[in-house]
Amino acid sequence: MKIEMKQKRILVILLFLCYFLLLTPYVVHTTLSEVDAGIVDDLKTVSVLSLPADIQDVAAFNDECAVLLVADSISGVKKVIITQKSPHSLGVSKGDVVEVTDKIIDWYVDWHAYQFFDKKFNALIVGDVGEIGTIESGIEKLLSARLGNTVFSVSKLIFAFAPLLLILYISYSFRKRFYLWNILAILALYSFEVFILTMVGGMHHIAMAGIWKYFGYLFVVLIPFTFFFSRYEESEAGQKRIKGYYEKITELIALSFKK
C-alpha cells in the first residue's frame, strides 16, 4: 500500500514537471508575437535614399539602414522590419530570432508596392530591433520546425485545460472523490499561469491588463489556503460542517421549487 502511494506521488511530480515544461512554448510564443518577434528569413543593407518616399518621411535615419524579412514561427506570416542599424552592428544573420523593441510605424501594406525581397509579406514596420534570449530563441526555432505547430497546439491545450485535469486527477487518484478544495487548487494553477505570462511579458515590456495582473498574483494566497482548506475539509469537523451546509442548500432549493 505504501509502495503504491509512493508511486502515485512520483507520478504526480512527473505530471507537474511535464505540465510546466509544456506550458513554455505557448507562453513564449504568445508573448513574442506581441512584440512582432520572428525568425529572420532574409536581410540586407540599403541606402535610406532608396526607400519609398512615405517611409523616408517617418524614418529619420542616416545614410544606410537594415531591412529584415521576419517570419512568424507558427503562422509563417512575414513582415518587413526597417531599422537604422546595419545587420553587422545588430549582430543578426539569417535564422536568428529578433523582436521589435521600439516601433515607429506598423503598416499593413501591399507587398507588391515595396519590392524589398521580391517575397510576399503582410506588414511593414519601422523601428529598433533587438535579439531574443537564448532560451526563447531556441523555443521559437523549435516551433518553426516541422512539428512546431503540433507542439504549440499541445502547449495551448495544456495552458487551457491542464489545471482542471491535473487537480481532478490528483483528488480522485488519492481520495477516490472530489472536494471543494479542488476548486481553489484549480484557480491557483490558472492564476500561476497568468503570473508566468505576466513575468515573461514584463521581460519584453508588455503590460498585462490590470485585472489579469492582479489575478496572476492571487496564487500566492490561493496555494497555502488550498492546503489549509483541504485539511479542514477532510477532517471530521470539516465534514460535519460541510454536510450541514449541503443540507441547508438542499432545503432552500426544495423550498424555492415548492413556491
pLDDT band at 114 (very low <50, low <70, confident <90, very high): confident
Distance of CA 222 to the CA centre of its chain: 21
Quote the pLDDT of residue 96. 92
- Per-residue pLDDT tens for 122-159? 999 998 898 888 999 999 999 999 899 999 999 999 99
Please determine, for residue 85, whether its predicted confidence score (pLDDT) is greater than 90: no
Q: What percent of the chain has pLDDT over 70?
A: 91
Closest C-alpha to 130, from 71, 75, 68:
68
Please determine, for residue 55, whether its predicted confidence score (pLDDT) is greater than 90: no
Quote the pLDDT of residue 125. 93
- pLDDT top residue among 249 and 208: 208
- Per-residue pLDDT tens for 222-244? 999 998 888 887 777 767 776 66
Q: Which triple of cell numbers denotes residue 236?
A: 471530521
- Per-residue pLDDT tens for 186-236? 999 999 999 999 999 999 989 887 788 899 999 999 999 998 888 887 777
Bridge partners (DSSP) listed for residue 7? none
Mean pLDDT over residues 236-259, rounded?
Answer: 63
* 161: three-class secondary structure by DSSP: helix
Mean pLDDT over residues 70-87, rounded?
Answer: 89
Q: Rounded to an integer, what distance in angstroms lies between the CA atom of residue 54 and that of residue 122?
A: 17
Please determine, for residue 255, whether its predicted confidence score (pLDDT) is greater than 70: no
Helix ranges, 71-147 (H):
87-90, 134-143
Q: Which triple of cell numbers denotes residue 142?
A: 523549435
Residue type, 36: D
Please determine, for residue 69, whether its predicted confidence score (pLDDT) is greater than 90: yes
* 190: three-class secondary structure by DSSP: helix
Q: What global pTM score does this model have?
A: 0.86
Please determine, for residue 169, whether its predicted confidence score (pLDDT) is greater than 70: yes
Quote the pLDDT of residue 256. 61
Cβ neighbours of 169 (radius 10 Å): 13
Please determine, for residue 177, whether its predicted confidence score (pLDDT) is greater than 60: yes
